[in-house]
Structure 1
């Protein structure tokens, strides 16, 4: 649970998003350590709030402590559209009200593709043609399609696909119009909706079932996402366009997009997406993706977009650099991970700060207007500012990790004249970084052959070796040919070019 002041600040930010964004409704949730700690809703049907503490009611962005226990409705809740309700009012929005989530669908499809790789059915470097013959992008690799670097056009041929019934769309072998590779593949980020239509078809080819059926069985059910469906079911809101210069509404059409569905078809709730946010942050879902694969998914796999150096792409997720002043980034910024979504009548946002294990979901039913990504980022920031995480208590190393030789290695080492510090961590892991200021920091994991392998930073994947003098003592460290010595430019160490000693 959050403090009352934190909940008030979150409710206020949601109210601002609904009012300034001119949207019929907006719902949101905040996740911390895998648990929904706050959820709220705001709609045009809410009464005007009174000032003071009593405003934390229906007129404010009402807060919910999290999902309540509920009966299992069975698999039928995943399938089938709701009959048209006609012109009546939408349901009161809440944590289990469905909204269309648009391109957030892509993050879920990416999880399916990475599961294929982990099972050995594909390699991310494989060309699409190897597993899915007959497309117009045969040489695009699976990794390029996931990260939007395959130079596949942004949109399929034909009319506006989000508003076109799927039965009117071309099949998977005839999606593109004109030159299918407008940019050099592998060198530029170029967002592509057809690329994810190909990935959905790839899943269907290798699983022998529809991509949504595979998603339901492999991801949605294991994560407890029982209200994420291919077509809407009750309760759900309708999608609206708001006139730019008048406060009037136009109902948007609802199209089943068919072939293009893996790019943005799904409907979901803040309840379900909060579970997915916890999964992306690393809390649960180990039977869905391994820890290493989840880290790989969140790692930049494309260069920044040419017009936005604060954004990049992982394998199916967007990466946004934290803005200046982000809590806990006094020395260096870090990435928020997630995805935005847009379909006619709907906008969506899911973001997580994996280091803090805090995430936010924002869903709204307006085609344009609400800045949902900014709102999601702000909800995370508010929690981190109001309730910073307490550091883990200091604990001494376990006796099994306190190897006397490794303890003796800790402390200052020098690369040339630059002081570094080596620290011993649990599990015989090491951490090496500059004594102060920025520089090449890395964590290193022990290997069975007595070496260590870098886990991140400049030395990621590189090998650290302990080099010994004739008497068996450690004379220096070799990390990817970088020689670290106990004294600056130690004349007794094999430093290329030698050392003539220091002079005044």
Structure 2
């Protein structure tokens, strides 16, 4: 459980702006209560709450139901299996969880809501009815599990994450909830995140749309649907989880893998998923910045969690009303308030301690045809290839044991960069996914595709 980090304390004006935003949200959203938190620089730096109960306000230790933010936890478990080599994102579900009737869909498609499965379960609204009424996967998928061909488009699917939870249980040989506790909650110190509510926790309420009255919402155990929306948590726990989603934790997932989660994996869809959808993470743009996180709702509760890796800021908002308060939008606003009022101060530049001679040999200008590019070696040991002066294809590369470099982002993600040498050992050119980069534009000494005119460069005459 986190406490506020006073060394990273926000300015009084920033804190007031944050308080004002959640006060407006609680008042206009007519929620019995709202609680929020902001992290910056790897620490919790602000907490706030508003409530309709005089003299009483929830704090960062009070549980609320977080709905579909549960999906992000489930995605973390699946990616742990992938990183351990127990499955591949391209594997059909049938390979690891046979007999579902939806086995042709791949693990990666399920993670990114690109599997073509129906959005909801057949029958009564699953969020407001007991999970015992859907005891088998067949009850959740129904006779027509697919509404689109797998892989063709983004279509948000709650049953898809039920399948992923069952996949985790099948591969691990233990219930989803138990695996989650052992592999994510305990390592990250999320002691107040659980499948069932633990005191102190908020009650869920429905607020009448046309009158200032309310009634309690029923509390249901979602059964097999739990991996899609069962969890309860607190702003402090979710703030710690948000920081993990930005920086990784080798006990759970590496930084490279959490960055992979936040990369688009499903097609964008206007009005639904403008930036696409990652692997268990929603992606959006707000105030000119790219955010990754997730929204959540179940009867009686709404939730929002957003991170901005570029600003190293994350925000969490939880409320106990069925509708009315846009928790995800408010969380995005809190990120923007902090990032705009107090821009991130860059870390001090530090030189590379032991630069590899081979890597240094690759640094400097290169040309793809006549387009000038540059290779830089960063202090983290990665090569960065990008255009000189302008936009274009920029990619970071990580060294591989065989001397090549693996693309980590952008156009060349997953592609290989190789330094091709002459018989005397000097570098002739770079081969990047079949593109030839030379030290001079159309270097006649390099194997430029199509060859180089033997008369070389010349003017008009």
Give the 5 Å matches for 1:332-343: 335-343=290-298
Alignment pair present for 1:188 and 2:153: yes
How far is 1:276 from its partner?
A: 0.7
Alignment pair present for 1:261 and 2:226: yes
Give the 5 Å matches for 1:221-236: 221-236=186-201
Alignment pair present for 1:387 and 2:342: yes
Partners of 1:451 and 1:208 in 2: how far apart? 38
> Could you say which residue in structure 2 is the equivalent of 1:503?
459
Partners of 1:105 and 1:119 in 2: how far apart? 22
- Tell me the alpha carbon deviations over residues 130-166 of structure 1, each in whole angstroms, 9 at most, x when there is no partner: 2223323122222221111111111111111111022
> Could you say which residue in structure 2 is the equivalent of 1:451?
404
Choose which of 470, 491, 499 in structure 1 pairs with 2:444: 491
Query: Does the CA-based 8 Å contact 2:295-2:304 persist in structure 1?
Result: yes
How far is 1:232 from its partner?
A: 1.5
Choose which of 178, 198, 203 in structure 2 pairs with 1:238: 203
Choose which of 69, 84, 96 in structure 1 pairs with 2:61: 96
Query: Does the CA-based 8 Å contact 1:401-1:427 persist in structure 2?
Result: no
Partners of 2:28 and 2:96 in 1: how far apart? 47
Normalised to the residue count of structure 2, the TM-score between the two structures is 0.91
> Could you say which residue in structure 2 is the equivalent of 1:289?
253
Distance change (3 Å), C-alpha of 1:234 and 1:384: same
> Could you say which residue in structure 2 is the equivalent of 1:68?
none
Query: Does the CA-based 8 Å contact 1:30-1:36 persist in structure 2?
Result: yes
Give the 5 Å matches for 1:87-166: 92-166=57-131
How many positions carry a matched residue from both structures?
449
- Tell me the alpha carbon deviations over residues 408-431 of structure 1, each in whole angstroms, 9 at most, x when there is no partner: 643322222211122222365322
Query: Does the CA-based 8 Å contact 2:246-2:259 persist in structure 1?
Result: no
Distance change (3 Å), C-alpha of 1:349 and 1:480: same
> Could you say which residue in structure 1 is the equivalent of 2:11?
3
What secondary structure does 2:212 align onto? coil
Query: Does the CA-based 8 Å contact 1:100-1:268 persist in structure 2?
Result: yes
> Could you say which residue in structure 1 is the equivalent of 2:4?
none
Partners of 2:21 and 2:321 in 1: how far apart? 18
Normalised to the residue count of structure 1, the TM-score between the two structures is 0.84
What secondary structure does 2:276 align onto? strand
Alignment pair present for 1:318 and 2:273: no
Distance change (3 Å), C-alpha of 1:209 and 1:484: closer
- Tell me the alpha carbon deviations over residues 62-104 of structure 1, each in whole angstroms, 9 at most, x when there is no partner: xxxxxxxxxxxxxxxxxxxxxxxxxxxxx63111111111111
- Tell me the alpha carbon deviations over residues 10-34 of structure 1, each in whole angstroms, 9 at most, x when there is no partner: 1111112112212111100111233
Partners of 1:421 and 1:40 in 2: how far apart? 47
Query: Does the CA-based 8 Å contact 1:136-1:174 persist in structure 2?
Result: no
What secondary structure does 1:37 align onto? strand
Distance change (3 Å), C-alpha of 1:122 and 1:6: same
How far is 1:4 from its partner?
A: 1.3
Unaligned runs of 5+ in 2: 1-8
Comparing 98-107 with 230-239, which one deviates more in the overlay? Answer: 230-239
Partners of 1:350 and 1:309 in 2: how far apart? 16
RMSD of Structure 2 on Structure 1 (CA): 2.1
